[in-house]
Structure 1
Amino acid sequence: MGKKTVAVVFGSVSSEYEVSLRSAASVLRNIPRDRYDVVMVGITKDGRWYEYGGSVDDLEADRWLENGPVTPAVISPDRSCGGLLRQAPGGPENVPVDVIFPVMHGEHAEDGTIQGLFEMAGIPYVGCGVLASSTCMDKDVTHILLEAAGIRTAPYAALVRPQLARFDSLEPSLREKLGYPMFVKPANTGSSVGVGKAKDRAELLAALKEAFRYDRKVVVEKAIVGAEVECAVLGNYTDADAAVVGEIVPHHEFYDYEGKYLDDSTDLFIPARIPKETSEAIRTAAVRAFAAMGCTGLARVDFFAERDGGIILNEINTLPGFTSISMYPKLFEAAGVPYPELIDRLIRLALEK
């Protein structure tokens, strides 16, 4: 069998655009070039699509668009195209693609939107399908489905933007149900974008206003006391395996965007400093949640490990970070799967699906 052509898609109209560039650079440096030919496809912050032919270093530094070379090109939903439709001097030309690796995060990337385009195009792609992507992205819907599957999550409340005008009457019920401190999260962002921790009434109002800048729906959750741990899952549907469990210890108030991507303010422990039985329970629950949500390819499932041995699922990330410091590849590396092999497995899972 000859080499497959992989379109690595990065960027997008998303609050996590910069993270996508770092993740894509890591994937491009590690993808086995003896097995795959690579086409790089970038989406700008304002939604323009280009085929990129420059250096990975310029991509990571967000100089890809200015330094190029770039050629207008899109993934065509017309299945007769079979991949990329590129603008050429003599008119549009087709660039066949065997599989797509969307190295993208956040809205318009991780929420089922772009997966719908791939489905229309009839091209296999890495990661979850439309439904699993959209339901895992919406933290409110995730709570509902996981609770129905018997998987414990934190007590929470979901709010929509018009309710903010009734904050004075709303706050007492939130305080009674959840108690301070509370975590406030936009329902449909990742990488802790727009997330805040509220210790009192004033901080709750400020956190809600900030979260509603990013989404029309917000989730307010009870703060859980426990170790923050993460589990990487690889597979398709019920045929999936979990890597070792890792632990994050943020130096900030919580594991925020800066701690994840921009500084060294977070300590990582692989394996997590929790009892072996708790780790096994988390790995089992992660695979159960992966199957219950209909996930395929990959997901990073985050938990709180309580001191009494209890575990609470925090969230499921269907396109987790792939930067040089991201937990998903680090956890599989600790489980004996090097980064290039992990990428190869993900591509093969996409083709099998």
Structure 2
Amino acid sequence: MKIAVLYGGISGEREVSLSTGKGVIQALINKGHEVKGIDFDPGKLDEVLNLDVDLVFIGLHGRFGEDGKIQGLLDMLNIPYVGSGVLSSALAMDKAKSKQIFSSQGIQTAFSRTYVVNQFEKLSDIVMDVKANFSIPFVVKPNQEGSTLGLTIVKEEQQIQKALEVASASDSVLLVEEYVGGREVTVPVVGKQGEEEALPVIEIIPKNDYYDFDSKYKPGGSEHIVPAKVSEDLTKQLQTNAVKAHQLLSCDVYSRVDFIINENNIPIILEVNTLPGMTPTSLFPDSAQVIGWSYDDLIERFVTLSVTDKK
């Protein structure tokens, strides 16, 4: 097949996307496809508008890649692509909206409040509301951003203003939620709609206080334990909730669902990643390898599912 791979982009996750794109391109070439790589820039849409390919593999992360915008453009151009469509991409990217959906359907979430910055006269008004509704520690983050960019775990009252400033540099909508300590795990989900399966659960042991950008992407930043050393019952619960979350957002082909297992052994969902990191050493391929799927086979599986799903 003739496949275009969109990677790079202009979000804060550009460097990760460059690695994802490089890995995907090589895997597709290894599988015999004719591949065109495009370092995507919304200011140079001609590269996409003039595409003559059978399929697009979106290797972008964050804004203009994971939020439904590029999916909408490809839909209008009638070009099939790998992964979730406009609505599910946008919902998964909007942490507050997706949490409301999960909570309403019995998947446990952390208590949170959303703040639209321009609805307040000054940031100090948000500080007052946060103080009234949260006790330390708690988390402040942009509502739509990935890879923990703009995230602060507030441990002292004097950090609140700065945490809000950092988050508001990335987004006009801020999410403040209670801090949930515990074990960080993630569950890859793959399959055509209605027939999804969860892959082995991965436990992430970050070298820093939490699974931040450096832990995710710097060599030795974290340790991945696959399959996670959790009970059979908890494994089943995590995998069931991951597939349920994926389906609630109408995700397609693949996603990765992040959880914290709290001190009472209850999984608290964090988010669904519709375009998780897909470098050869990323979490998703790590899990797939445990059940005998090589990196190249995994990428080819996504392509096959996309072609059969969207005919």
TM-score normalised according to structure 1 size: 0.83
Distance 1:278 1:176 in 2: 35
CA 1:238–1:178 in structure 2 vs 1: closer, same or farther (change >3 Å)?
A: farther
Amino acid at match of 1:149: Q
Q: In the alignment, does 2:146 pair up with 1:207?
A: no
Deviation sequence 1:211-252 (CA, Å, 0-9, x none): 000011011111112100000001233210110000111121
Larger Rg computed on CA atoms: 1
Q: Select which of 9, 14, 19 maps to 1:12.
A: 9
Deviation at 1:276, TM superposition (A): 2.0
Deviation at 1:13, TM superposition (A): 2.2
Q: How does 1:227-246 map to 2 (within 5 A)?
A: 227-246=183-202
TM-score normalised according to structure 2 size: 0.94
Name the structure, 1 or 2, with higher relative contact order (CA <8 Å, separation 6+): 2
Amino acid at match of 2:114: A
Corresponding position of 1:60: none
Distance 1:324 1:184 in 2: 31
Q: In the alignment, does 2:225 pair up with 1:252?
A: no
Q: In the alignment, does 2:104 pair up with 1:131?
A: no
Deviation at 1:164, TM superposition (A): 6.1
Could you say which structure has the higher strand fraction? 1
Q: In the alignment, does 2:59 pair up with 1:75?
A: no
Structure 1 residue runs of 5 or longer lacking an equivalent are: 50-72, 77-82, 85-95
Q: How many correspondences in the alignment? A: 309
State whether residues 236 and 295 of structure 1, in contact with CA within 8 Å, keep that contact through their aligned partners in structure 2: no
Q: How does 1:80-229 map to 2 (within 5 A)?
A: 84=51, 96-162=52-118, 165-171=121-127, 173-229=129-185
Secondary structure at the aligned position of 1:142 is classed as helix
Distance 1:219 1:34 in 2: 42
Distance 2:125 2:197 in 1: 46
Secondary structure at the aligned position of 1:6 is classed as strand
Structure 2 residue runs of 5 or longer lacking an equivalent are: none
Corresponding position of 1:314: 270
State whether residues 115 and 126 of structure 2, in contact with CA within 8 Å, keep that contact through their aligned partners in structure 1: no
Secondary structure at the aligned position of 1:31 is classed as helix
Distance 2:147 2:93 in 1: 11
Deviation sequence 1:165-220 (CA, Å, 0-9, x none): 55555445434533211111111111111111111222121111000000110111
Identical-residue share of aligned pairs (%): 32
Which shifted more, 322-331 or 99-108?
Answer: 322-331
Deviation at 1:253, TM superposition (A): 2.2
